[in-house]
Structure 1
């Protein structure tokens, strides 16, 4: 028999998705005139757009997610333990604030990095669960902060194409929400995952190619932090392989691009169009062609993550990781190859 608490914890994420989606879309409609006036993104070396387009839609995504999660947590009596929820909310707001300023008036990279590191450290230090054994516990905080800091920034780097962030993180958050509803993930992060999923869905119609609104740093930085926390919680609950598989495409694209730019001696902090998904548009792929492929691969990665959770033996885990790496490698190679070569090979 399902208890009252279990019933509430199942209902919360189901309500969070439509509530956050409605709030996100509503906030965008209200804020768009202001964004059009004060937060225009003008084309630069990194841009895929050719005309000035308002950015800052991430305000609606993050605001809707926080409001929906807070309302439902209070109404259904679901609370994050200790200081975890407070630290996460404050860190998200800090990154959103820094991103908002940077969208309007670019800040020094060193200042952004320091603030981001502080926000990530606060979230990691208060998060429930740990990954490393007691003897190595001293290493976990610095390692997790470095990984979290990179994840926050790579989500920002990967937000350079219409619907790209939607394609990457709607499958991931939908998977975590469904996993929690079925009892395979803690109720608190399940609620947050559902709220973030709703926020992204509410934003999606406005960012559909050709986008009328961009997310901006005000959205990509806090979205990266929330997803990093969700994955950390999943890993701490015994789903390390799943947590590695779920974000593998954006992690691989951003990390390989960074390493190759370093190898070429390029200034990695400067705007560029070297990511695989950006190169794909130069190689003849349409924007929709890129994002639909990313969405499909992210869906397949979610299926592989589920397999590692259902059958948590080392052979299954290893196989899941290998197949996931092969699938992502195939997509990266596809994007890096001029499309006419594929068409010539089929002719």
Structure 2
């Protein structure tokens, strides 16, 4: 048992935040010189901005989270700590010189497979053959890694999404609903993103880059998978529900229109919102508020511990997320003027 887990997880988050911020300050001149993201027709930014701050976010998460997680045994983290740097390396190369789709997906699939296929056999979600379940998890994990990357298209968007999720996961860990290594990694990722936030607030001074968004997707997916393996599948779906709906619906819509869905675009709901008159700050604030609601629903589903509770909380989450997507898809009404 961990004595006073709440205090320790707060320390984890604070240390990761400080480490991340210091690394960004040190790295920013190099990123400014060698990793400049120039705006194009699909970009949401208007001026060249350095990318690659994900190096600091992932580095702080692995160092601080790994150090505290290993207190209860490092074994569950070995493959994670191999897979995450692999995905980060793929993202780093892609940031500098784009990698073709097939090799990129192959390497990402290898990283996700290291986690899904090396997990203990007794960690199960569905009453189906193990190899089929792990294959489905591989596909879902590969999609989740990429959707986090797709959704990292506005200043503070990843912060607004991941901070509430990881904070909720850390709280679940404090209540012994999650294994300690998962809670420690979640707290470290939460803290690292808080350390990144001042540099990414509009107008951003630095971006995560693929070197950050891809491994963040893998780390977050791993944490959510641990939650599902504890029996809290609905909670694991509720926490990232906004990203899941926005990215998946956009993908299906592009496929139905026979568009090259693998190519960069500006048709996600959050991107359409900025085209429809929403400010960047307003979009991320509303996403953050929705994620607080989804986190509360996830906690409620765990507390109710019933099929009826799962159905009710998932339905409520779908309605809340659906309403926000609908709001983003429509032009914002101009404020009325009084005579």
Deviations 1:232-262 (A, max 9, x none): 1100101100001100001100000011111
Answering whether residue 229 of structure 2 is matched by residue 236 of structure 1, we say yes
Answering whether residue 100 of structure 2 is matched by residue 108 of structure 1, we say yes
Answering whether residue 34 of structure 2 is matched by residue 42 of structure 1, we say no
Q: Where do 5+ consecutive residues of structure 2 fail to align?
A: none
Structure 1 residues 196-235: aligned runs within 5 Å: 196-235=189-228
Residues 7, 319 of structure 1: CA spacing in aligned structure 2 closer, same or farther, 3 A cutoff?
same
SS of equivalent to 1:340: coil
3, 6, 25: which one aligns with 2:2: 6
Structure 1 residues 247-262: aligned runs within 5 Å: 247-262=240-255
State the alpha-carbon separation in 1 of the partners of residues 4 and 116 from structure 2: 27
Q: CA deviation at 1:312?
A: 1.1
Answering whether residue 50 of structure 2 is matched by residue 18 of structure 1, we say no
Kept in 1, the 8 Å contact 2:69–2:182? The answer is no
Answering whether residue 152 of structure 2 is matched by residue 167 of structure 1, we say no
State the alpha-carbon separation in 1 of the partners of residues 11 and 73 from structure 2: 16
State the alpha-carbon separation in 2 of the partners of residues 295 and 42 from structure 1: 27
Deviations 1:59-90 (A, max 9, x none): 0000000010222245xx22243xx3111011
State the alpha-carbon separation in 1 of the partners of residues 275 and 153 from structure 2: 14
Kept in 2, the 8 Å contact 1:239–1:309? The answer is yes
SS of equivalent to 1:213: coil
Which 4+ stretches in 1 moved above 4 angstroms? Answer: 8-11
Match of 1:89 in 2: 81
Kept in 2, the 8 Å contact 1:39–1:54? The answer is yes
Kept in 2, the 8 Å contact 1:45–1:271? The answer is no
Answering whether residue 126 of structure 2 is matched by residue 124 of structure 1, we say no
Kept in 1, the 8 Å contact 2:66–2:185? The answer is no
Q: CA deviation at 1:166?
A: 0.3
Q: CA deviation at 1:13?
A: 2.0
SS of equivalent to 1:7: coil
Deviations 1:121-180 (A, max 9, x none): 1011233522123x5222111100000000000000000000000001100000001111
Kept in 2, the 8 Å contact 1:9–1:78? The answer is no
State the alpha-carbon separation in 2 of the partners of residues 241 and 13 from structure 1: 24
**Structure-1-length-normalised TM-score:** 0.94
State the alpha-carbon separation in 2 of the partners of residues 51 and 188 from structure 1: 40
Q: CA deviation at 1:191?
A: 0.5
Answering whether residue 272 of structure 2 is matched by residue 276 of structure 1, we say no
Match of 1:299 in 2: 292
Kept in 1, the 8 Å contact 2:88–2:210? The answer is yes
Match of 1:148 in 2: 141
Q: CA deviation at 1:10?
A: 4.7
Q: CA deviation at 1:11?
A: 4.5
Q: Where do 5+ consecutive residues of structure 1 fail to align?
A: none
Answering whether residue 194 of structure 2 is matched by residue 193 of structure 1, we say no
State the alpha-carbon separation in 1 of the partners of residues 233 and 93 from structure 2: 35
State the alpha-carbon separation in 2 of the partners of residues 60 and 46 from structure 1: 26
**Structure-2-length-normalised TM-score:** 0.96
Kept in 2, the 8 Å contact 1:127–1:233? The answer is no
